[in-house]
């Protein structure tokens, strides 16, 4: 639907669609960009190709000014709306594929990582579910329905069907290591926390939400001294204001609700680009038009 709306919107000058300084920022994010098979992701969401990613960036640079985290409040720079790219989960393609392309084009970005997985010490439970679907597709629904609290069942099932998660971590090495993260920081990119091991926050107690958040950001900052930033894993839906009361006021935090405003200061909503089949040139006009429609019916804000 967004792509169809975007095709219609592409008939108009893009500047006519922009919501202006009072509207939400366009904050796109991805997980990985790759041409190689990714069985741990294949059954969760589409993998963005290098060709599409480059095309997305070219279109983005035509209409937006890329900025670092420190400049998000500016809204406009050099006469154009600002944009900040980010990437979740700390997958190795961030260092091997994404960062070189961004460096080539001079685009800043933030990479949000889960400390428990750095260096391929463990595998996120949803990635385990995808690997199990790959090996045993008849039970796809069962595997993909397992939540964070029941994630131990995936390990038991893997032993039963002969899936070796440790072997996958050693051979495929899905995550970045410390040396690759060092390189990203040296190149001027920012790193942020993404929780310790990627739970669904609305399923956690407030105490665990705060612990996962503080520990992940402190782990990143203690090593690299970067700007304090945190992106919710999955979604911030259901997270109450009491959580934000316990987070330092100068942190920058991010949800995944799309092109919307958030009533909390220094908390922004990002657009999950892998949700859409169409390229950015069609998606963005579509989501902006959808924003205007939602604004007319009072649904353009994330309220808590």
Residue 151 counted as domain residue: no
| Domain enclosing residue 247, as ranges | 2-120+173-302
Beta-bridge mates of residue 229: 252
112 within some domain: yes
Which letter, b or e, does each residue of 31-63 get, where b requires 16 or more Cβ atoms within 10 Å of its Cβ?
A: bbbbeeebebbebbeebbeeebbeebbebbeeb
Whether 159 is covered by a domain: the verdict is no
Q: Is 53 part of any domain?
A: yes
Residue 240 has pLDDT above 60, yes or no: yes
CATH for 65: 3.20.20.370
Above 80 in pLDDT, residue 109?
A: yes
Higher-confidence residue of 7 and 146: namely: 146
Query: Would you say residue 188 lies in a domain?
Result: yes
Checking if the pLDDT of 215 tops 60, the result is: yes
* Residue 58 domain flag: yes
pLDDT at site 79? 87
Q: Indicate the number of domains in the chain.
A: 1
For 87-103, how does the pLDDT look when each residue is reduced to its tens digit (9 = 90+)? 999 999 999 999 999 99
Give domain status of residue 296, yes or no.
yes
Residue 180 has pLDDT above 80, yes or no: yes
In a domain, 30, yes or no: yes
Q: How far is CA 241 from the centre of its chain?
A: 22
CA distance readout (Å), 255 to 105, 236, 238, 264, 268: 26, 5, 11, 11, 6
């Amino acid at each position: 639907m967004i792509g169809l709306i975007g095709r219609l919107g592409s008939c108009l000058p893009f500047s006519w669609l922009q919501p202006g300084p009072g509207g939400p920022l366009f904050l796109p994010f991805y997980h990985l960009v790759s041409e190689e098979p990714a069985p741990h992701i294949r059954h969760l969401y589409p993998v963005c190709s290098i060709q599409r990613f480059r095309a997305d960036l070219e279109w983005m640079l035509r209409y937006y000014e890329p900025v670092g985290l420190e400049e998000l409040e500016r809204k406009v720079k050099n006469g154009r709306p600002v944009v900040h790219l980010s990437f979740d989960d700390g997958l190795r393609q961030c260092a091997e594929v994404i960062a070189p392309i961004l460096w080539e084009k001079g685009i800043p970005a933030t990479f949000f990582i889960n400390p428990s997985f750095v260096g391929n010490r463990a595998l996120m439970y949803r990635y385990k579910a995808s690997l199990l679907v790959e090996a045993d597709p008849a039970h796809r629904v069962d595997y993909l329905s397992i939540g964070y609290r029941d994630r131990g069942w995936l390990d038991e099932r893997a032993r039963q069907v002969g899936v070796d998660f440790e072997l996958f971590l050693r051979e495929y090495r899905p995550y970045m290591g410390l040396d690759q993260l060092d390189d990203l920081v040296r190149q001027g990119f920012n790193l942020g926390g993404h929780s310790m091991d990627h739970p669904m926050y609305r399923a956690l107690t407030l105490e665990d939400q705060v612990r996962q958040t503080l520990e992940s950001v402190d782990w990143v900052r203690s090593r690299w001294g970067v700007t304090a930033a945190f992106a919710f894993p999955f979604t911030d839906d259901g997270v109450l204001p009491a959580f934000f009361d316990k987070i330092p006021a100068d942190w920058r935090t991010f949800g995944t609700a799309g092109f919307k405003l958030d009533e909390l200061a220094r908390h922004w909503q990002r657009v999950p680009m892998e949700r859409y089949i169409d390229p950015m040139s069609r998606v963005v006009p579509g989501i902006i038009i959808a924003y205007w429609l939602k604004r007319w019916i009072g649904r353009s804000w994330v309220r808590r």
